[in-house]
Structure 1
Amino acid sequence: MPADAIDSANELLERYAGLALAELPRDTAIFDAHTHLGNDIDGMVGDRDELLQIQRAYGIARSFVFCLDEPDRQPAFTAANDRSLAHAAAAPDELLPFVRLDLDDRPIEEATRCLDLGARGIKLHPRAQRFLPDDPRLEPVFELAAERRVPILIHGGRGLPPIADSLARLLDRHCPPALIVAHAGIVDLAAMAENFAGRAGVFFDTSVWSALDLLDLYRLVPPEQVVYASDYPYGRQPNSLLMAVRTARASGLDERELRAVFHDTAVRIADGLDPVEPTTPRGATQLSHPVTFLRINQYLTMASAMLWLRHTSDTYGVIGLALNACDERSNGHRIETDQLREVLLVTRDLWDLASRAEDETAQRRAQRGALRLVHLASVLSVTNAA
């Protein structure tokens, strides 16, 4: 029955929520450095009530929040930025608004307007708004951030050519109190680390899809330069927290450093305090992993791509292949593979439900549920043995 698959998925997510919170240091408050509210042109929706419900359920005390790439973004993201300010005004102790800018449309005027109205930082998205860090129109934006003593958060994920070198040159000329490179800077992480590892005031947020990206981030960047982020509504709980805490622990971060990643560093950014001087990266340079989990992760990567592309059914049978890999009994990880099997069985049921859905809304709900569970299983396949 459809309700069975949905209820089973919700029960699993609730159980792993408890696990994620239990693996954090005791009584750790959380600060989410990257969330969105609004309606994106890709169909994604960030709802304020839902975000606040998530934050309160997971002990997330505050978050930086900004709009999505909204259908009414012209002119200058004005309407969307006004909504961000209104969302923050409705929950001033929990939501700290950033102004999103379009370099083609009065960026300094819009940034100044919103900062005067209470915006706490600036959000830049070079992929969505089609610019690169060597664009001369960025110079006055960074100059304004430095003058007004507000942080900048810039997209550093997929869909861009390498940007690290030009971003470093820009930062050398105009240095805001904090620059947060979103999505762990995976657009060119090695060059990002070469330019910025050890540079106080530059930070990387943890909002990525793959746990392997975070393991590499901790290998290259000191923990004092990492801040927790979910990328809501794209990133979801409990996956986001579980991935962040497990990769941090696997990389050798101690309790103090974990508290800094999940709360203290972002609080210093929000409150305009000087950054803590970076130490050294903690992560291992090599990862030893049972072949069984590598096989499972490979099939889950294939499933993720299919679900992102909105395949209504598992036409390649990749969930079945992952389940078969879970049958391996001689690798000494029976408990962990049984955990994965449980998640994958519900994933299979949800994906099957999507293939039989009679309307698009029900289909999308089942597909997104399956995607959340595929991601959870992917996190487990990397971190259970790490």
Structure 2
Amino acid sequence: MPVRPLPFDDVGSDLRAEALRWLGDGVTWFDAHTHIGHHDPDGYEADPEELVAALELAGQQKALVFPMQEPGGYRAANDWVLRSCAESGGRLVGLARIDPKDPGAMDEARRTLAAGARGFKLHPRSDAFGLPHPVVEEVVALAGEHRLPVLFHAGRGIPDLGDSVIHMATDHPGARLILAHAGISDLGLLGPRAAGRSNILFDTSWWHVSDLLTLFATVAPGQILYASDMPYGGPRYASMAMLRVARAVGLSPEQAAGIAGAQLERVVAGEDLLDLGAAPGTGGLGPRVLGFERAIGYLTAAVQMTFRQGDPTEALALARLACQAQAEAEHYDDLRAVDDLIALAQERTAAGGDPYAGVHAAMTAQVLAGTSAALNGR
């Protein structure tokens, strides 16, 4: 199931084209979160060539890559990642995946660094560990010695990572701790506390516009890294969403370019990080528009139902009804555009086939609904 969203993730091509015009030419894109593998219990899989093809399709240059879950252990998978990176012509940069419960975890971490890994990936949910954890501390200390990143799964399926992240960032200032999936497990707790701790970073590999707006409003732009989550996510949707949200909170094209790739280049090179300014806060987000907010709520339900193999029909219908906000006439055009995308989601869902066909139209609709009030007039 290689990069499953690719046939559908350009449903917002006009929105993406507008966002890229705002960003300007000459920006290097460096995706902070992609996977390869064939044995993950969730059934997804991808080869390195498929990731590179997806980068080409999106006009992007590079990606960090690491193994998907490997129930048999990570040594062979790490070797495949590093070999694939060496053969990619510079398009792929490898992180080694480490299971801290493995008795040989630290030997594997040292071995892969010597073989060319540019840091580590740790997954508390699929590899079933919690924080604090003594081996995780050792992995972070090793990364800190080389000024390299440790990327943590910080999305669904886990409790918050808590004060452990703050303590590790403080105790190992050379390590760059990246919380994946917009850090949704920790965003409310750690987002504001990340200020002044530039070695705590967040990647954008997440779909929900409200989470992304919270991230971009409350975390300094120099601590945010663009990411797609391939093969689970597609780079065209991910880049469109990232740019729309960055612009909505009031970031400049120069700050967005740092998020798109320039900062990650420094992370994997072990260099000093760019200072891209302070978190902008929520002041630029514009007025509350209840039609948009209601549509986002129902679209969230529809997307979640789809991901859980349920029926999103009722939630999509309610989302369309939310766009009939007669009291918000100044937002009429954008409400109609949101409604058009939801109608497309309904059409594709009713046609059957891959549910991703409908879900990408719904996700694009909620990005449009979540950013239009801020972007009107800009």
Q: TM-score, normalised by structure 2?
A: 0.89
1:378 aligns with 2:350: no
Q: Percent identity?
A: 33
Matches within 5 A, 1:1-386: 12-39=11-38, 40-70=40-70, 73-75=71-73, 77-105=74-102, 106-277=104-275, 279-284=277-282, 288-311=287-310, 313-314=311-312, 317-329=314-326, 331=328, 332-354=330-352, 363=353, 365=354, 367-386=355-374
Matched residue SS, 2:17: helix
Match for 2:370: what amino acid? V
Work out the CA distance in 2 between the residues paired with 1:199 and 1:309. Answer: 36
Q: Is the 8 A contact 1:154 1:182 kept in 2?
A: yes
1:17/1:38 Cα in 2 relative to 1: closer, same or farther (>3 Å)?
farther
Matched residue SS, 1:385: helix
Shift of 1:13: 4.6
1:46/1:18 Cα in 2 relative to 1: closer, same or farther (>3 Å)?
farther
Work out the CA distance in 1 between the residues paired with 2:48 and 2:276. Answer: 34
Work out the CA distance in 2 between the residues paired with 1:117 and 1:351. Answer: 46
Work out the CA distance in 2 between the residues paired with 1:145 and 1:223. Answer: 23
Q: Is the 8 A contact 2:208 2:300 kept in 1?
A: no
Match for 1:142: what amino acid? V
Work out the CA distance in 2 between the residues paired with 1:338 and 1:51. Answer: 35
Q: Is the 8 A contact 2:169 2:197 kept in 1?
A: no
Work out the CA distance in 2 between the residues paired with 1:147 and 1:10. Answer: 39
Deviates more, 1:292-301 or 1:145-154: 145-154
Q: Is the 8 A contact 1:62 1:95 kept in 2?
A: yes
Deviates more, 1:125-134 or 1:175-184: 175-184
Residue 3 of structure 1: aligned partner? none
Measured against aligned partners, the alpha-carbon deviations of 1:304-356 in whole angstroms (never above 9, x if no partner) come to 11101112x445x22222223334455222321222232222211221122xx
Aligned residue pairs total: 365
Residue 357 of structure 1: aligned partner? none
Q: TM-score, normalised by structure 1?
A: 0.87
Q: Is the 8 A contact 1:134 1:170 kept in 2?
A: no
Work out the CA distance in 2 between the residues paired with 1:237 and 1:34. Answer: 10
Matched residue SS, 1:33: strand
1:17/1:131 Cα in 2 relative to 1: closer, same or farther (>3 Å)?
same
Shift of 1:54: 2.1
Shift of 1:245: 0.8
Measured against aligned partners, the alpha-carbon deviations of 1:10-67 in whole angstroms (never above 9, x if no partner) come to 8735444434433423332211111112232111223433321221232322111111
Q: Is the 8 A contact 1:152 1:176 kept in 2?
A: no
Match for 1:58: what amino acid? A
Matched residue SS, 2:26: coil
Work out the CA distance in 2 between the residues paired with 1:107 and 1:139. Answer: 12
Q: Is the 8 A contact 1:198 1:280 kept in 2?
A: no
Q: Is the 8 A contact 2:62 2:92 kept in 1?
A: yes
1:88/1:261 Cα in 2 relative to 1: closer, same or farther (>3 Å)?
same
Work out the CA distance in 1 between the residues paired with 2:123 and 2:11. Answer: 34
1:260/1:310 Cα in 2 relative to 1: closer, same or farther (>3 Å)?
same
Measured against aligned partners, the alpha-carbon deviations of 1:146-172 in whole angstroms (never above 9, x if no partner) come to 223321111122222222312222333
Unaligned runs of 5+ in 1: 1-5, 355-362
1:11/1:197 Cα in 2 relative to 1: closer, same or farther (>3 Å)?
closer
Work out the CA distance in 1 between the residues paired with 2:135 and 2:194. Answer: 22
1:142/1:50 Cα in 2 relative to 1: closer, same or farther (>3 Å)?
same
Aligned CA RMSD, in angstroms, stands at 2.3
Measured against aligned partners, the alpha-carbon deviations of 1:74-127 in whole angstroms (never above 9, x if no partner) come to 23x112212212321221411001000111211111112222221111011112
Work out the CA distance in 2 between the residues paired with 1:377 and 1:237. Answer: 17
Match for 2:115: what amino acid? L
Work out the CA distance in 2 between the residues paired with 1:37 and 1:31. Answer: 17
1:246/1:314 Cα in 2 relative to 1: closer, same or farther (>3 Å)?
closer
Match for 2:295: what amino acid? I
